[in-house]
Chain A
Amino acid sequence: MRSKQLSYVLAGAIVAAFGSVAEARTLIQNKGSDTLVNVAQAWAEEYRKVDPEVAVAVTGGGSGTGIAAMINGTVDIANASRKMKDKEMKLAKDNGQNPIEHIVGYDAIAVFVHMDNPMDEVDIKALAEIYGEGGETQNWADLGIEVPGCKNQEMVLVSRQNNSGTYAYFRKAVLGKARDYKLGTRDMHGSKDVVDLVEKTPCAIGYSGLAYATDHIKMPCVSKDGGACVTPSVATASDGSYPVARPLMMYTNGEPEGEVKAYLDWILSDVGQCIISDKGYAPVRDVSCN
């Protein structure tokens, strides 16, 4: 009996102690894309200085997770690194939700290889042969490249899990809508995992948002249809010259109002856009940050 009483007393004391610090605030639920999650976190962290009455709760999980939450009506703002599909839009409408899209930034999807890999440039068509189902390229030797430290020169394809917006966008932009990924890709649960794996694996090739690039990884420039080869950067994503760049979205239920509107307006202001730019993504327009 003693342990039961003890646990009641303890639990009661804890709850009483915690319950006493009450203050009025508005909560904005923000969930979705792992690509956006770190920017969303930075915005949330900074926004409390702008309006201490408003708290933004940030959760990751992937674009699919955010969009599902929007369909279920459990979030105020869903983050997505891809557009909602027609099917998802219809599901949301059937549930009485009215998702409205807001572009909050752009993201260049960089291709990553190991530091020792001599590959400096790659064409979208070549990437499709590397990643696409039935693609010809199996070995680095097929590209005429010899990677030091890579046994058998066999390519290790690093990809993302299938509810990732990055996964969906790369597929659309590189493989084309109908084509699937090759079997045997290593599907990572976050962009950071992709970078970590490629950093340590000489044979590997991977892709992710540019913001996750580190100094220990190589990013070849990417060309499309024989055009100029463009190195991924915030500038080339902003001006549209980098071929694999996509908009980053926040979805609200209906036109934003009140605190949600104030938050979105702040995100799109110079201050908010400088934060996204600082995190390695491209802002929606030219901003001068210091």
Chain B
Amino acid sequence: MLMTALLILPVLLILATLIHKGGSIISAEFLFSEPTNGMTAGGIFPALYGTIWLVAVALMISVPLGVAAALYLSEYAGDNWFTRIINLAIINLAGVPSIVHALFGVGAFVLFFGFGTSILAASLTLAIMTLPLIIVATKESLQAVPHAFREACWNMGATRWQTIRKVVLPNAVSGILTGVILEVSRTTGETAPIMFTGAAFFLPFLPESVFDQTMALSLHLYVVATQVPNVPDELPYGVALVLIAIVLLMNSLSIAFRMWLRGRKKW
């Protein structure tokens, strides 16, 4: 009990500090206006907007790919050397530091594929970095669906794909969703992978396509905290607060959605 309380303490302390030091700057104007006066005043809208872009595009790439990979590994693949190598690769991919992903992103997407520093290159980098999260979460939730369900379905004459689509996936949605939300949280906060692949220090316009560069909240926080002189103290704290709020909001939404799904479960 005491240990559990201790676990909550850092979260509360971080939130309290951020709200205490940065809460005063948060307003609709702060959220929806552009930075002015050499980024020492004004709002954070371009960064907020850019983060939504980066996360959305990264999800569009990694969710279909990750879920498909997990389906194959969990439902189709036999236990042979090939599968074991793939599983090993996934675990290793999860352990690669984000800055290494960044370098890979620069080499592969920015230079080799010629996407330039763009949302596409940054989101692809983020997607690859977060693929293991989705794959592992999906695989685990697929395996949590009792095998008897599948057998019952097969005995009714359903094909393997029909079984997956009508029985296995609907029962695994909440777990898959957890993976997606974890990915959103992680993608929102990452700085290193986007720094060289798509995020700009300052951009006087909002991105309009995936081939544009963008500002991003995480990099903006790094910039106002370490690069720009004479920033008022509450500004970096305010940016950090918004960043944390997005992550907490996404997490609570997913928890609510999962509880709703679980309530409908009949086993």
**Which chain A residues have a beta carbon within 8 Å of chain B's beta carbons?**
1-4, 7-8, 10-11, 14-15, 18-19, 21-23, 25, 27, 29, 34, 37-38, 40-42, 44-45, 47-48, 55-61, 72, 74, 189-190, 192-193, 195, 211-212, 214, 279
Contacts and interface: CB of A to CB of B under 8 A. Distances in A.
The prevalent SS among residues of A at the interface is helix
A7 B36 CA distance: 34
Contacts, number: 108
A130 B53 CA distance: 49
Interface in B195-232: 195-196, 199-209, 212-213, 223, 226-230
Contacts of B205: 25, 48, 55
B63 A58 contact: no
A29 B56 CA distance: 24
14 contacts: A1-B173, A3-B176, A19-B209, A34-B227, A38-B38, A38-B227, A41-B38, A45-B36, A45-B38, A48-B204, A48-B205, A74-B110, A192-B227, A211-B229
A14 B123 CA distance: 15
Contacts of B53: 14, 18
B52 interface: yes
Contacts of A61: 195-196
Nearest to B168: A1
A238 B236 CA distance: 34
Contacts of B213: 57, 59
A45 B111 CA distance: 28
Nearest to A280: B229
Rank and list the top 8 A-B pairs by shortest CB-CB distance, nearest first: A41-B202, A58-B202, A48-B204, A55-B205, A11-B60, A3-B177, A14-B56, A1-B169
A61 B110 CA distance: 16
Given A1-B173, A3-B173, A4-B63, A21 B206 contact: yes
Contact of B59 (A7, A25, A48, A72): A7
Given A1-B169, A37-B227, A47-B204, 18 more contacts: A1-B165, A11-B59, A18-B207, A18-B208, A21-B206, A23-B208, A27-B212, A37-B201, A41-B38, A41-B201, A41-B228, A55-B204, A58-B201, A59-B213, A74-B111, A190-B227, A211-B229, A214-B230
A164 to B, nearest CB: 12
Interface in B132-146: none
Interface residues of B, number: 45
Contacts of A11: 56-57, 59-60
Contacts of B63: 4, 7
Contact of B226 (A2, A41, A45, A193): A193
A41 B39 contact: yes
Nearest to A22: B208
Given A14-B56, A19-B209, A21-B206, A190 B176 contact: no
Contact of B200 (A8, A15, A58, A279): A58
Contacts of A18: 49, 53, 206-208
Residue among A7, A10, A34, A58 facing the most chain B CB atoms (10 A cut-off): A7
B38 A279 contact: yes
A10 B56 contact: yes
Contacts of A192: 226-229
Nearest to B225: A192
A64 to B, nearest CB: 13
Q: Tell which of A3, A7, A44 has the most Cβ of chain B within 10 Å.
A: A3
A34 B222 CA distance: 13
Nearest to B213: A57
